[in-house]
Structure 1
Amino acid sequence: MTPTYTVVPYEPGAWPEWLRRTAPSDVLKCWGAVDRSPHAPRLVVTHDGDGAALLTARPSTAYVKIVDTVGDVPKAVDAVLSYAYEQGLAQVKWEGWTASAEDTAAAGFAPLRLPLTRGPGEPGAGYVRWLDKDGGIAEPPYYRQSTAFTCGAVTALIAQTHAGAGTADPIGRQAELTLWREATNFPACEPVGLGVAVRRRWQTSRVKVHLDTDEPVLLSHLSESEQEWRAVLQHASRSDAERLGVPVDARRLSQLALRRGIGQERQHVLLLVSLAAMQGFDVPHWVLCHGVVPGAVVIEDPWFNTAAGETWVDAHLLPVPDASLDAMSLIAPGRFRGAVAIGRPLLDPPGIDVASGQKEARAVRHVEL
């Protein structure tokens, strides 16, 4: 059988002669404007050389992104789809630099919801095609965290908006920083403190924390004196969780239980992961797990690496293989796993004094996750 495409290594600046003839100079300038090497850039070229696409993808994920196409666009996209199916991927995305709505629709791509905020130099459109015949995930809004430390707060806000719980204010910097202030262990949000903040903010939400260690977490990079007072705050968060009826499950959350919670029980799970596999640096980071497809969990990552050519298109509706997510959610030191599961509303929510964190003195019916 004649191959329908060829994969060509991407070497910015050292463009093949056929590509120089095919691609406008401004397109090649855009392609070479950033160092895309962390995300395995490659060119997929049609067998007759009439069309080509520049592809990238985060490591340890189950998608590929069309950065741009040149030449015969339908042929180039067909070649990419063939490549993606043969790689066993869950999804192909397409950044809207030069793609037309007509071309994307004809190729079976659906438009992505535009992010709530968008910075300069980011695409004004994005598209997705799920490769499984039963694919398709309910799409939450996308919001990029505005600081280096508010990922936990942002994932909670997105989860609650997606679930229809609503927020006092629209998702934005004020809501982001306000919730972070309620949840922070200075500056990170540890699992129990984040779970408590979610319950206080949304009293009808069913919240369960998964944390398979009794030790303080996310403190190893600090000096002993800095660790000490943050450990006191983490202990206080556990006391608050007990008073508010937020269970803290000390058993390790399994990948099977995570998938079941999202897929069957309609939970939104805030999951603590290391960015070592996806970005190359071992930093703890909160992501939102909100959908499942065969072999992968779909997440929202509130941060993306513009220096490596990432945009909101990468971080939104991002499928991560089960094994990859399982590995990256074991956090060092100690290889613990931390998560906050947010389920359907309580049938009879506890009355909570937000200022003091105390239950009202009345009987309540608590429904566990």
Structure 2
Amino acid sequence: MPSPQGAPAKSAVVPFEPDASPSPLGSLDIPERWRTVDRSAHAPHIVAVPGEDGTGPVAAALVTARPHTAYLKIVDAVGDVPAAVEAVVAHARDRGLVQVKWEGWTASPEAAAAAGFVPLRPPLSPVEDGAGPDTGYVRWLCDGPGDEPPYYGQTTHFSCGAVTALVAQVHGGTLPREALDREAELTLWRDATNFPACEPVGLGVAVRRAWPSSPVTVHLDTDRPVMLDHYTEKEQEWRALLQRTSRTEAGRTGVPVDPGHLSLAAIRSAIGRREHVLLLVSLAGMQGFDVPHWVLCHGTVPGAVVIEDPWAQAAAGDTWVDAHLLPVPDPSLDAMSVLSADRFRGAVAIGRARQREVSVDEPAGE
């Protein structure tokens, strides 16, 4: 039963061990999906609400989260669901976190609303069977970041840069939601790629070509070619040539390349001006492997920057619900966005589109 007068339900927090015997969940039935993926990389644990008679828990939730983030995710709640969810929210507050999410495998809109959650917009890209729920919910434990951008999961292993740019332009009102699809993703990637990834200058130039009215600034605090360390010398040579060509094109098209180190304070300031920051990060902290990856910084909350990550690791139980509206503490984002041995930071800032003047002979909206 939920605690009287709105007091948080007393709970016990224990690691989730799928084969534990005896089970800390007692007689509660748990969904099979709790055991079908290896969630160990995301600190799975049980938040259980004990019964008043001491015979075992009356409610429990499986909770996970990406490392170095500021949220918790309820995979499922069983038993007295309102009590379980209430206990998870209290657990998140105790840890100083800013957000709780709830995957919509079994959660109904009515149950989520009663617990103070609001629905997340469904992804614009299809969710593969078993790779995530069709619905999800969020509850902010502080003032939220404002307008929710659409979520779009990249459909290739290499098009994250193009996706973050497209989502930024939809969120900023430059591109209609219905234009964000796989054709748009691959078209922009093809213009920006350094084969197969998108490096900062090439991505900034491609954004300027696609949307000439959008102010674009590339931030890159090194003058050497980037994201090439894992290639052989021969493979590096021609990709480096393409990056030098991108710098020439940036100069020709008026895309500034700022060689200074972009600070987290500057990222926050840009977001405060309603700009979007495409930020290059390593996935080592959040996912356990050191791969460069683009995310979109679009909102701020106390102590954290809110990002869109176009990729989720389904094999670890990580879904679009994790990747969407993802709060990352400032120190964590600062650490994960310093890449390679020479510790460079790469970003592309996209400002609000300038309104083009329309002549009296030109139909508006054309």
Residue type of the alignment partner of 2:47 = V
Give distance in 2, aligned partners of 1:200 and 1:62: 36
**Match for residue 49 of structure 2?**
46
**Match for residue 242 of structure 1?**
251
Residue type of the alignment partner of 2:13 = V
* 8 Å Cα contact 1:269/1:339 also seen in 2: yes
Q: Which of 110, 121, 135 matches 1:125?
A: 135
Gaps (5+ residues) in structure 2? 1-6, 52-56, 358-366
1:30-45 to structure 2, matched below 5 A, reads 30-45=33-48
1:316-331 to structure 2, matched below 5 A, reads 316-331=324-339
**Match for residue 107 of structure 1?**
115
* 8 Å Cα contact 1:130/1:136 also seen in 2: no
1:291-326 C-alpha deviation (Å, 9 max, x unpaired) = 000000000000000010011100000000000000
Give distance in 2, aligned partners of 1:129 and 1:240: 44
Secondary structure (helix, strand or coil) at the match of 1:261 reads helix
TM-score in terms of structure 1 length: 0.90
1:1-38 C-alpha deviation (Å, 9 max, x unpaired) = 998111012111326446251115xx1x1100000000
Counterparts in 2 of 1:197 and 1:14: CA distance versus 1, 3 Å: same
Residue type of the alignment partner of 2:134 = G
Counterparts in 2 of 1:169 and 1:234: CA distance versus 1, 3 Å: farther
Q: Which of 5, 16, 19 matches 1:13?
A: 19
Secondary structure (helix, strand or coil) at the match of 1:83 reads helix
Q: Which of 22, 29, 36 matches 2:28?
A: 22
Counterparts in 2 of 1:169 and 1:235: CA distance versus 1, 3 Å: farther
Residue type of the alignment partner of 2:20 = A
Residue type of the alignment partner of 1:208 = T
Determine if the alignment matches structure 1 residue 218 to structure 2 residue 224. no
* 8 Å Cα contact 2:59/2:83 also seen in 1: yes
Give the CA deviation at 1:253.
0.2
Give the CA deviation at 1:135.
2.2
Secondary structure (helix, strand or coil) at the match of 2:27 reads helix
Give distance in 2, aligned partners of 1:330 and 1:157: 24
Give the CA deviation at 1:215.
0.5
Secondary structure (helix, strand or coil) at the match of 1:182 reads helix
Give distance in 2, aligned partners of 1:245 and 1:2: 56
* 8 Å Cα contact 1:3/1:47 also seen in 2: no
Give the CA deviation at 1:75.
0.7
Give distance in 2, aligned partners of 1:265 and 1:339: 16
**Match for residue 290 of structure 1?**
298
Give distance in 2, aligned partners of 1:2 and 1:92: 15
* 8 Å Cα contact 2:145/2:306 also seen in 1: no
Give the CA deviation at 1:168.
10
* 8 Å Cα contact 2:8/2:87 also seen in 1: no
Give distance in 2, aligned partners of 1:198 and 1:156: 7
* 8 Å Cα contact 1:275/1:282 also seen in 2: yes
Paired residues, number: 344
Secondary structure (helix, strand or coil) at the match of 2:165 reads helix
How big is the alpha-carbon RMSD for the aligned residues of Structure 1 and Structure 2? 1.7
**Match for residue 352 of structure 1?**
none
Give the CA deviation at 1:87.
0.3
Give the CA deviation at 1:347.
5.5
Give distance in 2, aligned partners of 1:17 and 1:230: 54
Determine if the alignment matches structure 1 residue 227 to structure 2 residue 212. no
Determine if the alignment matches structure 1 residue 72 to structure 2 residue 80. yes
1:1-369 to structure 2, matched below 5 A, reads 4-14=10-20, 16-17=22-23, 19-24=25-30, 27=31, 29-48=32-51, 49-116=57-124, 117-121=126-130, 122-132=132-142, 134-166=143-175, 170-262=179-271, 264-346=272-354
Counterparts in 2 of 1:125 and 1:3: CA distance versus 1, 3 Å: closer
TM-score in terms of structure 2 length: 0.91
Q: Which moved more, 1:229-238 or 1:165-174?
A: 165-174
Gaps (5+ residues) in structure 1? 350-369
Residue type of the alignment partner of 1:294 = P
**Match for residue 354 of structure 1?**
none
